[in-house]
Amino acid sequence: MSMRSWLLILGALVSFSGANLIAQTDATVSGIITDQTGGRIVDASVELTNLNTGVVYKASTNGVGFYSLSRLLPGTYRAVITKQGFSGTVMSEIELHVQDVIALNFTMRVGSVSETVQVEGGAPMVNTEGGAVSTVVDREFMENTPLNGRSFQSMLLLTPGISLTTNVQGTNAGGSFSVDGQRPASNGFSVDGVNANFAASPGAFSNFQTSGNLPALTVLGTTQTLASVDAVQEFKVQTSTYNAEFGPQPGAQISIITRSGTNQFHGSGFDYLRNDLFDANDWFADENHQPKAPERQNDFGGTFGGPVFIPHVYNGHNRTFFFVSYEGLRLRLPQFSVTNVPSLCERGQGNCAAGQNPGAASLFPILNAFPLPNGANLICTAPTANIKCPAGTPNGLANYSASYSNPSSVDTLGIRVDHTVGRVTLFGRYNRSPSQTTSRSLSDLAVEGLSGLHTWTLTSGANIAINPHMTNELKANYSSNDTTSEQVQTTFGGAVSVARSLLVPSGYDSPFSAGSYTLQAFSGGIAPYPSVGVPGLLDSSQHQFTVLDNFTWAVGSHRLKLGGGYRHLTPTVGPQVYNLLGLATSPVDVQNGVASLAIILAGTQIYPIFDSYWGFAQDTWRISNRLTLDYGVRWDMIPPPTEANSHLGVAVNQVQSLSTMQLAPIGTPAW
């Protein structure tokens, strides 16, 4: 086929449309086979055997002596090359890693096929991946690296240009990282070649998590929802100049491939323990005469894999394999806090200093919702516009210190099955990872924040060797990520729960309410007085459906790869019951029983729909034994999101002047 014809095919097949990182995670080996004079050998048989599973991958050289084998799982292989009139050539211990693109050339000697020439690390293995800046972390490295929390975020930091980031405001982006200064939403994650950026958002619809730009991590910000460390074969981090398979995020591309079973049964078990029995008390807690808070970290689990074997029924040796992993985490994280709460005088429970009056009796139930003070009363240093009390007099607040522990739990179950029949290799993987945490913040110790994330994924794929020069990969995935966020009143530190009816007037109950009403105390806003509020249960979810197809064709000295796919996201955002935020800015306001500011807010449940499409064409051209050229094109298309009930109205009409700015009608496309 002429170069002009090939370029026409390349251009025609770029008419796919799409978005988001979904790319091959397997390895590719290609090369040129020559005789001792340098002549190209045509129709030589090439077989690569996975030494762990016994699965054989076959190809043959074309009219220019070129062969290509793709969709190879990471592992150790043996290569056998045969051709009538030549001695057989064997090379063992070929190590392949995730997304390797290896050039492996062989020279055959004239002789009998029954003769075998063993290549001892001879034929050079050259990675022809192009100019991608990448780091591969394999199973052996992970097993020998101590990981606090058994999440591989810390190993991502081994890649140049990566740094961990703090939580992104309004998102569950804990554990995210930045690449070369870019935002965490610029990074793309894939597991077994399928997009893993499908985090649910507990916040507003405008939150970029809703559109699937952040990975679905646990409620602690760890990676067990993607795959437990013991279920990962290896992963690769690419930070720049990657090929056309990847897009459209400009940040790092993290490709994770999970473990499969082998011809041997293997199992493992583990339990990592931390306990406050071995620790001293926190210095600040000890200084404030608070007891040592409990610390418990118990990380346990195990793996088991091998061939599928049913006595007298089925023996999956060399054909069918399974791998099961489980990891459980039970954590109690010690905390110590010092905060300000209403004084006993303000609550009408103690003697007031000279010139100070208790708060209004109508506010006592609200003020008593805070822990009882166990430290000194606070004194005004100087009157300000917001703190209206004479210098040297009590300002109505007192210190409170406490030791406590925040409990969390994570459970991760992963099951993978691989099967080879003829020229078709099939796999399926199920991963389920619910996680929960309970926390208290510095400003509202009497309120427990309950957060939960329940993630599960189901991925299947088929690799088909159409002929020795053509392969096709088809994959499909469904993922679900459900999140809940709730705050509950407690009696922590002697606090007394306050009735919702005291804060929110009757008639302000949302029809979308889940029936859970709680108190929240904020110390932000205008100091020094805390504010109070009653948010309800937030319940959101994200659902992802993805299908993709990649086709590889070795033609002439080219290895042409064409692919495209479709991604469908259907998040649910909300609901949020009506809630009130009130703020008392000075002792005078408290004494008068008034709040300087009161806001009533409510949200309604919406059902956005995000669709995206992508297509790419990539070529690896072996110009000579010493020169390889990689090039390709990609097209991503993300249409404006819609809403299942046409409740989407976030667009703003074209603005010439701020005085004429107005919202577009509901249903107007966002762009």
**Residue 591 φ/ψ, nearest 5 degrees:** -65, -30
pLDDT of residue 291: 84
What lies within 8 Å, CB to CB, of 431 at 6+ separation is: 191, 225, 226, 227, 231, 412, 413, 414, 415, 455, 456, 457
**Residue 211 φ/ψ, nearest 5 degrees:** -85, 10
If one counts every other C-beta atom within 10 angstroms of the C-beta of residue 377, the result is 20
pLDDT of residue 520: 39
**Residue 213 φ/ψ, nearest 5 degrees:** -105, -5
Name the token pair of 350: 């103690």
Chain position carrying tokens 């809703």: 210
Please name which of 469, 448, 474, 443 lies closest in space to residue 459, comparing C-alpha atoms.
474
β-strands 576-583, 531-533: how paired? antiparallel
Please name which of 153, 130, 129, 126 lies closest in space to residue 142, comparing C-alpha atoms.
153
pLDDT of residue 331: 93
β-strands 470-489, 520-522: how paired? unpaired
pLDDT of residue 611: 93
pLDDT along the chain (671 residues), means of 10: 38 34 67 89 92 89 88 88 89 85 87 74 54 78 81 80 64 65 84 88 51 84 89 88 80 89 93 85 83 88 94 92 96 88 86 78 83 87 61 81 92 96 92 91 74 92 90 94 81 83 58 37 39 57 93 89 94 66 66 68 75 93 84 91 72 62 70 73
Cβ distance 355 to 432 under 8 Å?
A: no
Cβ distance 189 to 250 under 8 Å?
A: no
Cβ distance 554 to 62 under 8 Å?
A: yes
pLDDT of residue 11: 38
Buried b (16+ CB within 10 A) or exposed e, 9-47: ebeebbebbbbbbbbbbbbbbbbbbbbeeeebbeebbbb
If one counts every other C-beta atom within 10 angstroms of the C-beta of residue 576, the result is 25
**Integer distance in angstroms from the first to the last C-alpha of the chain?**
44
Domain 22-127 is of which CATH architecture?
Sandwich (2.60)
What is the DSSP secondary-structure string of 114-127?
A: T-EEEESS-S-EEE
pLDDT of residue 45: 92
Please name which of 226, 243, 275 lies closest in space to residue 477, comparing C-alpha atoms.
226
pLDDT of residue 351: 81
Cβ distance 391 to 355 under 8 Å?
A: no
Name the token pair of 181: 């200064």
Task: Measure Cα distances from 598 to 314, 526, 533, 584 in Å.
Answer: 70, 13, 9, 9
H or E segment and range at residue 420: strand 394-421
Please name which of 520, 488, 493, 482 lies closest in space to residue 504, comparing C-alpha atoms.
520
Q: Where are the domains of the chain?
A: 22-127, 338-399, 640-671
